[in-house]
Structure 1
């Protein structure tokens, strides 16, 4: 399983916006520069984050972006869902796939448990956790 570039860059953009202590809004060009993301590609990411109601322009067009709610209320799953419909480690766990081996499959439970753990982890980590440095590589 691999997470999309949009999800990864979306998290980085959200961290930039969440880290603005002035609450004056963060400009897209500044996010692009600091995160080394092309403005054109970041435009697609910003559009998805706005559509998911995670960010808004502070004072209309040509102004900076702010979060729509507290960073402690926005999870990594919220950000992921702005770009993907859900987390699914293998196709047969998807509700849109009908597997002819399901009745005799011995490993679906394993993949389902892994999927649930990833989903739970994405739900349990907030932007604030990331800002506070609570998530570290062991």
Structure 2
């Protein structure tokens, strides 16, 4: 299983949106600059986050973005599901996957168990926890902001 760049960048965008506490929200171009993401790619990410009801515009189109609900009620699973409909470690766990060996496949139980652990882990972290950790890292004096930027 590989986490897509949309999910990874979606989390980074959500952190930027969550850290803005003013009533105007944050403009997409500001997220793009802070996170060094192309505005065109960020369009797709923003659209998915809006469609998942995780963010919204403050004053309609061309305005800043804010969270649609509190950061402590948004899990990393919510963010992941904005980009991927379901999380499955192997193809045979996908809802519409047909396997002729399924009835006698003992390894599927292992994969399902592992899948459950990963889903539970994603569901155990909130955006607020990630934001708190980001704030903590930024308060460490010997780390410059360039050391905190993740480029991939």
Structure 1 gaps, min length 5 = none
Counterpart position of 2:48: 48
Counterpart position of 1:104: 104
Structure 2 gaps, min length 5 = 138-152
Q: RMSD in angstroms over aligned alpha carbons?
A: 1.4
Three-state SS of the structure 2 residue aligned to 1:66 is: strand
Counterpart position of 2:39: 39
1:79 aligns with 2:79: yes
Counterpart position of 2:10: 10
TM-score normalised over the length of structure 1:
0.93
In 1: Cα distance, 2:111 partner to 2:78 partner: 22
Structure holding more helix per residue: 2
- Matched length: 135
**Runs of 4+ in structure 1 over 3 Å off:** none
Three-state SS of the structure 2 residue aligned to 1:26 is: coil
In 1: Cα distance, 2:103 partner to 2:9 partner: 39
In 2: Cα distance, 1:118 partner to 1:24 partner: 36
